[in-house]
Amino acid sequence: MKRLILATLGFGGLAIGFAVVGWLAALNIDYILGRFPGSMRVVSERFNLLSAYKGYVSQAGVYQTDGEVLTVWRWYAKHLGVEPEEGMGMEGECVRLTNATQLTWIRRTVVVRLCPARHGTQVFATQSVSFAYPMSAGNFSRSP
């Protein structure tokens, strides 16, 4: 019975979370999706909402901008709080920036890869939000 109540509360919280994200996205979709100002989509963005029943959703996009890598890096660092992982920052000529934040039972992970392109920078951005609720005292179920 406790699991049913917790699961119901969890899914209710997830629904409220989606509503808030939707509202925020309507306000400024580029910022929410992590698009550098003036960038153009290279491929269509992917939204994985089908995994919501597993406790997470994700979004990925590839963008092209005229900005230099350092300028784009600074923007992402300021707006999404990403930074190079220790020992994992450089991937060839590309730089990989990450950030993971947790608020109670909600975890947001952002990964941005910036690669120099012929005219500017190519941006590969991925975000995921996962939801974990306690199954019992001291035992948490976590999503991938």
pLDDT tens digits, 102-132: 888 888 889 999 999 988 999 998 888 888 7
Bridge partners (DSSP) listed for residue 98: 83, 111
CB 115 within 8 A of CB 122: yes
pTM of the complete model beyond 0.85: no
pLDDT value at position 107? 87
pLDDT value at position 116? 92
- At residue 46's C-alpha, the angle toward residues 41 and 47, to 5°, is 130
CB 131 within 8 A of CB 109: no
pLDDT value at position 121? 94
pLDDT value at position 10? 60
pLDDT under 50 in the chain at which residues?
26-27, 135-144
Mind listing the domains of the chain with CATH numbers?
2-140 (3.30.310)
pLDDT value at position 42? 81
